């Protein structure tokens, strides 16, 4: 009787202690998530509103136009995406406003967020959507970790996610479809652990429709489920479904829109395995399987860059994925795909591809810590925290996607830095010119401006100026807005920017001499031109003044 009474007295005390630990874990993760969301939003938006150029500035315009057209019933159509088609790049045809991006990347999952886009209808809103999706992925990761670990371990794993270069850099990049991957895949793994198979099936389907190559990620998950023998038959089913879906999509569905997957992407990404000008995914898979020597060479070369990439992926988790068999099973196929791609950006920590390894690495670490709880000692925890600090430091120093250029120079030797006030002053000049372009007018723009004019039917990226409109007629864009100022600032440190500046200058001089376009306005190194009109004397004088010291 006395023992039972003691248990009754101690039970509320034990419950309060458990609640404190539980609340501490969630509070820590929510604080980390809030800091992550605020900082990423601020840096992504300031870069967007300052028109600061990045390597993939163009992508924000493509996605915004896809959403804008879909909102108006023209599903997945994009004149900007058409400029990347095989018909334009290989056959020198003219871009079309009715081209469907599904021929290049099959991304039905984007339409989940169409109601969200309908609220703000802005490229800036897409940046906030991306930050939010990546942040939610971290919260679901914490719930997944709690299946195996107490709050303090789970919180540290989730904080590692918010400190990872492979998470931060793609989050502050321009909008991309892989921003959905952490949310869907961590949710899928949580559903698997909880045996919620209806939710597992739903999230598996959503992951597959993120993009045509997302099936590589789910194939890796199925391979882990089968190889670990935890869910042998379910894992085999996921593998068969993932592979079959990718083959069906890339060989029969996507070619219904255009032959871009076989004429462009397979050849560009895996051309070292094929000799033809066109290759299907089946042909590429067979070529890879039948050329083991080339396969091995591609996996290890270049060794320095490959090693640097995987170390950067492992760093936020204190390199635990190196010794986690589960992490290797989960990420082996996605990593192999990246290593085999000829795309020089495939091993960039700053772009969307890096996100494809994140779910497998973190889930693999969760499973490893579950099997080795005694390793979670003060000295190893300190080393883990040191790795987190180093990961953050390296991320900041790398200035991911130039999102931190507002506080970090783009080059030290020679010195290239544009102060926040100067960036804002230049942005004001660009905005004043944009206000002079009618909302329905066709326009071509440089990469850092194109997203801002992409909520329209007829828009191209400079130097393209001609397109096929809805009447199936070839027309020239009525307006052109070109930013000379940023390439000029960067030219001292980046030779390609100098070439870009000279190319734009010569092209505009040709337009003016041939009277194809006339200068409407010229402010702070930004030119606004209109087709078939004479140049404004004031704009011409400002242009000449800008060119005089450069001559």
Listing DSSP states for 500-511 in one string gives: HHHHHHHHHHHH
Q: Is 195 within 8 Å of 187 (Cβ atoms)? A: no
325 and 225 in one domain?
A: yes
193 and 117 in one domain?
A: yes
- Whole-angstrom Cα distance, residue 26 to residue 454? 40
**Model pLDDT, residue 15:** 47
- Would you say the C-alpha torsion 242, 245, 247, 249 has a positive or negative sign? negative
Q: Which tokens hold the place of 485?
A: 């100022």
Q: SS in 3 state form for 154-220? A: HHHHHHHHHHCHHHHHHHCCCCCHHHHHHHHHHHHHHHHHCCCHHHHHHHHHHHHCCCHHHHHHHHH
Residue 542, domain member (yes or no):
yes
Q: Which tokens hold the place of 419?
A: 């102060």
Q: Which tokens hold the place of 523?
A: 């402010």
Question: 35-65 burial string, b = 16+ CB within 10 Å, else e?
Answer: ebbebbbebbbbbbbbbbbbebbbbbbbbbb
Which residues face 411 on adjacent strands?
416
346 and 484 in one domain?
A: no
Q: How far is CA 510 from CA 278, 401, 517, 518, in A?
A: 36, 33, 9, 11
432 and 348 in one domain?
A: no
Count of Cβ atoms closer than 10 Å to residue 489 Cβ:
20
- For strands 443-445 and 459-461, give the pairing: parallel
**Model pLDDT, residue 22:** 54
**Model pLDDT, residue 204:** 98
- Whole-angstrom Cα distance, residue 401 to residue 345? 12
Q: Is 173 within 8 Å of 354 (Cβ atoms)? A: no
**Model pLDDT, residue 304:** 84
Residue 281, domain member (yes or no):
no
- Whole-angstrom Cα distance, residue 274 to residue 265? 12
pTM (2 d.p.): 0.92
339 and 237 in one domain?
A: yes
Which residues face 163 on adjacent strands?
none
368 and 257 in one domain?
A: yes
Q: How far is CA 31 from CA 24, 42, 148, 332, 391, in A?
A: 10, 17, 22, 33, 19
Question: 503-512 burial string, b = 16+ CB within 10 Å, else e?
Answer: ebbebbeebb
- Whole-angstrom Cα distance, residue 519 to residue 536? 6
Over the chain (551 residues), the average pLDDT of each successive run of 10 is 45 48 81 97 94 83 97 96 94 95 95 95 95 98 96 95 96 95 98 97 97 96 96 96 95 93 86 79 84 81 88 95 96 93 86 94 96 87 94 93 88 87 94 95 95 96 95 96 92 87 92 93 95 93 85 63
Residue 407, domain member (yes or no):
no
481 and 370 in one domain?
A: no
**Model pLDDT, residue 504:** 92
CA geometry: angle 26, 353, 366, nearest 5 deg: 35
Domain that holds residue 481: 420-547
121 and 236 in one domain?
A: yes
328 and 438 in one domain?
A: no
Residue 345, domain member (yes or no):
yes
Residue 70, domain member (yes or no):
no
19 and 166 in one domain?
A: yes
438 and 382 in one domain?
A: no
453 and 398 in one domain?
A: no
**Model pLDDT, residue 20:** 54
**Model pLDDT, residue 64:** 97
| Burial status of residue 228 (CB atoms within 10 A of its CB: 0-12, 13-18, 19 or more) | middle
Residue 36, domain member (yes or no):
yes
- Whole-angstrom Cα distance, residue 177 to residue 485? 31
Residue 200, domain member (yes or no):
yes
- Look at residues 405, 411, 483 and name the one whose alpha carbon lies nearest to residue 447: 483
Q: Which residues contact 390 (CB under 8 A, 6 or more apart)?
A: 315
State the total domains in the chain. 2
Residue 294, domain member (yes or no):
no
**Model pLDDT, residue 452:** 95
**Model pLDDT, residue 65:** 97
């Amino acid at each position: 009787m006395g023992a039972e009474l003691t248990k009754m007295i101690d039970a509320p005390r034990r419950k309060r202690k458990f609640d404190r630990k539980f609340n501490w874990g969630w509070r820590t993760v929510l604080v980390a998530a809030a800091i992550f969301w605020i900082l990423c939003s601020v840096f992504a938006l300031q870069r967007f509103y300052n028109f600061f150029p990045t390597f993939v500035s163009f992508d924000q315009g493509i996605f915004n136009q896809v959403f804008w057209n879909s909102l108006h019933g023209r599903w997945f159509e994009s004149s900007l995406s058409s400029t990347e088609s095989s018909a334009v790049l290989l056959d020198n045809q003219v871009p079309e406003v009715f081209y469907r991006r599904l021929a290049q990347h099959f991304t039905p999952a984007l339409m989940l967020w169409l109601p969200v886009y309908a609220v703000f209808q802005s490229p800036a809103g897409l940046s906030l959507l991306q930050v939010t999706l990546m942040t939610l992925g971290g919260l679901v990761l914490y719930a997944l970790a709690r299946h195996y670990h107490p709050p303090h371990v789970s919180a540290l794993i989730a904080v590692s996610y918010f400190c990872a270069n492979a998470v931060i850099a793609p989050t502050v990049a321009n909008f991309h479809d892989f921003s959905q991957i952490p949310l869907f895949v961590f949710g899928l793994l949580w559903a698997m652990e909880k045996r919620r198979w209806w939710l597992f099936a739903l999230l598996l389907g959503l992951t597959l429709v993120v993009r045509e190559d997302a099936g590589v990620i789910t194939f890796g998950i199925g391979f882990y489920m089968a190889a670990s023998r935890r869910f042998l038959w379910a894992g085999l089913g996921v593998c068969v479904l993932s592979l079959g879906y990718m083959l069906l999509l890339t060989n029969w569905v996507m070619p219904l829109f255009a032959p871009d997957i076989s004429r462009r992407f397979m050849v560009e990404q895996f051309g070292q395995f094929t000799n033809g000008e066109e290759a299907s995914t089946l042909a590429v898979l067979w070529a890879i399987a039948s050329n083991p020597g080339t396969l091995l060479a591609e996996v290890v070369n270049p060794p320095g860059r490959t090693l640097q990439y995987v170390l950067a992926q492992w760093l936020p988790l204190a390199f635990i994925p190196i010794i986690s068999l589960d992490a290797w099973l989960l990420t082996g196929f996605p990593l192999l795909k990246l290593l085999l791609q000829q795309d020089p950006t495939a091993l960039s920590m700053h772009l969307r591809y890096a996100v494809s390894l994140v779910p497998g690495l973190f889930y693999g670490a969760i499973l490893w810590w579950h099997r080795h709880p005694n390793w979670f000692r003060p000295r190893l925890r300190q080393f883990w925290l040191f790795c987190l600090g180093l990961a953050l430091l390296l991320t900041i120093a790398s200035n991911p996607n130039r999102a931190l250029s507002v506080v970090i120079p783009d080059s030290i030797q020679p010195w290239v830095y544009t102060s926040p006030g100067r960036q804002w002053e230049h942005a004001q000049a660009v905005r004043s010119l944009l206000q002079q372009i009618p909302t329905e007018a066709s326009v071509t723009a440089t990469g850092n401006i194109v997203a801002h004019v992409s909520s329209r039917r007829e828009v191209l990226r400079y130097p393209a100026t001609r397109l096929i409109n809805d009447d199936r007629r070839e027309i020239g864009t009525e307006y052109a807005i070109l930013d000379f100022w940023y390439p000029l600032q960067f030219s001292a440190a980046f030779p390609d920017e100098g070439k870009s500046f000279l190319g734009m200058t010569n092209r505009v001089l040709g337009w003016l001499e041939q009277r194809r376009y006339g200068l409407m306005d010229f402010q702070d190194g930004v030119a606004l031109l209109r087709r078939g009109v004479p140049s404004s004397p004031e704009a011409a004088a400002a242009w000449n003044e800008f060119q005089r010291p450069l001559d």
